[in-house]
Structure 1
Amino acid sequence: MAEVNQVSPPRSNRRNFLWILFQWILQGFFAIWLRYQSRGKENLPAKGGGLLISNHQSFLDPLLICLPLTRPVSFMARDSLFRIPILGPFMRYEFVIPINRRTTSSQSFRAAIENIENGNYVGIFPEGTRTTDGSVERFKPGFLALLKRTDIAIYPIGIAGADRALPRGAYFLRPRSVRVVFGEPISAELIREYCERGAQKALLELTHQRVISCQQQAESWLNPDLTS
């Protein structure tokens, strides 16, 4: 089977008509079927690039993150997803950036950097795969390479409930509640300090803990009786 090596070009920071229509439909459907709610989106900048880092619970996650936003997000996703009928063409249309998890893709990182420099959001799930139990797994450090070549903030995001709405191996969306929390950013200045000190491991751990905090907030919001 042929490898996917086409990298999406930097996208405009304006929504296209297809996504606006799709977003409008999903907002109504998810509000009813998933009782979807989010908070903290004011922590994201109104303009300028940014790196969105989230935990990964299901294939729904990119939609759950984008749903309340008025600006587009170019997610980095494994190249094998581009071979799926309907999903693949849609991902290309929405400028999702394919990445081969077995090799380092300089093309993918260049596309991500260009998107950020053009004032767009880039979204990454550093766990590399969906969780099996809802917890936030260890982060892979690949995204740190973007921070060395750009001057941007990290925006941590926590998702809760998506693994119950669409668990691994499921083919149908279950009526389970979902919450998304957009946390306070890790500033570009703080990131620069870590990078200048060569403290990449500490920066990776800080990012991991910020995402865990957001996920725990989302879980507490979702199940207040269990966390009180």
Structure 2
Amino acid sequence: MNLYSIGKRLVNVYYHLNFKIQVIGLENVPEHGGVLICSNHLSNFDPPFIGTQIARPLSFIAKSELFKVPVLGQLLPHLNAFPIRRGEGDRGAIRLALKLIRAGHALLLFPEGHRNLEHTPMKRGLSGAGFFAMKTDAVVVPCAIIGHYKFRSKMKIVFGKPIDTTVMKNQKLKSADASSAIMQHIQALLDAYTGPTA
């Protein structure tokens, strides 16, 4: 058993002890093949939260600064995370992400590119998610995280139906526009599953 599997089990126990978790639409995540899971971003808790909910291993792109943190920086590569230098067009990270997707891995992306601490509607994001969706044959699964990471509070995670990227590719959308289209799907999940009747 590798460190990812061990860490996943431990983190899963932690989340279930601290939060009331509801998972919706897990069947929408393919068990095999290249997958892009694109989610809103509320907290640093999000990547492991999503990773513990799906059966298959999940790879993450993390800001390079985290790899300089003592202990954490040494653990991250063993947890399927790899660094990206934000705002620099990090070609090495982009090439690695493309390689992983094309090799059939699942990759988590946050199209907004940063945490939305106010839980406000999603704004225009970065081009990364759209770029990978346009450049690969990955299945793109929108994901919505709903709730606040407070002790014993309810956390809801919704995996939407895969996005048909055929139209995007036929129209040869720019990466930023493709990201915006993906974010609309995520926002639709947030709107549909937020509130007392959701």
CA distance in 1 between partners of 2:75 and 2:171 (Å): 37
State the identity as a percent.
26
- Report the equivalent of 2:30: 45
Paired AA for residue 110 in structure 1: R
TM-superposed CA distance for 1:192, in Å, is 2.1
The superposition leaves residues 11-39 of structure 1 with CA deviations (integer Å, 9 ceiling, x where unpaired) of xxxxx532222222332332231112211
Asked if 1:99 is matched to 2:84, the reply is yes
CA distance in 2 between partners of 1:204 and 1:26 (Å): 30
Aligned 1:1-228 pairs, distance under 5 A: 17-135=2-120, 136-161=122-147, 164-165=148-149, 174-195=151-172, 198=173, 200=175, 202-220=177-195, 224=196
Kept after mapping to 2: 8 A contact 1:153/1:185 = yes
| Cα gap change, 1:27 to 1:205, in 2 (>3 Å) | same
Paired AA for residue 77 in structure 1: A
Ranges in structure 1 where 5+ consecutive residues have no aligned partner: 1-15, 166-172
The two structures have a TM-score, normalised by structure 1, of: 0.78
**Local SS of the residue matching 2:37:** strand
CA distance in 2 between partners of 1:145 and 1:45 (Å): 20
Kept after mapping to 1: 8 A contact 2:64/2:85 = yes
| Cα gap change, 1:95 to 1:25, in 2 (>3 Å) | closer
Work out which of the two has the higher radius of gyration on C-alpha atoms and give 1 or 2: 1
Paired AA for residue 194 in structure 1: Q
Paired AA for residue 210 in structure 1: H
Ranges in structure 2 where 5+ consecutive residues have no aligned partner: none
CA distance in 1 between partners of 2:96 and 2:189 (Å): 28
Higher strand share: 2
TM-superposed CA distance for 1:219, in Å, is 2.6
TM-superposed CA distance for 1:43, in Å, is 0.6
Paired AA for residue 139 in structure 2: A
**Local SS of the residue matching 2:60:** strand
The structure 1 segments of at least 4 consecutive aligned residues displaced by more than 3 Å after TM superposition are 198-202
* Range that drifts further, 178-187 or 32-41: 32-41
**Local SS of the residue matching 1:107:** helix
The two structures have a TM-score, normalised by structure 2, of: 0.89
The superposition leaves residues 118-140 of structure 1 with CA deviations (integer Å, 9 ceiling, x where unpaired) of 10011111212111211233311
Kept after mapping to 1: 8 A contact 2:131/2:179 = no
Paired AA for residue 160 in structure 2: G
TM-superposed CA distance for 1:218, in Å, is 4.1
The superposition leaves residues 60-112 of structure 1 with CA deviations (integer Å, 9 ceiling, x where unpaired) of 10111111211111111111111122222221112312111120011101100
**Local SS of the residue matching 1:178:** strand
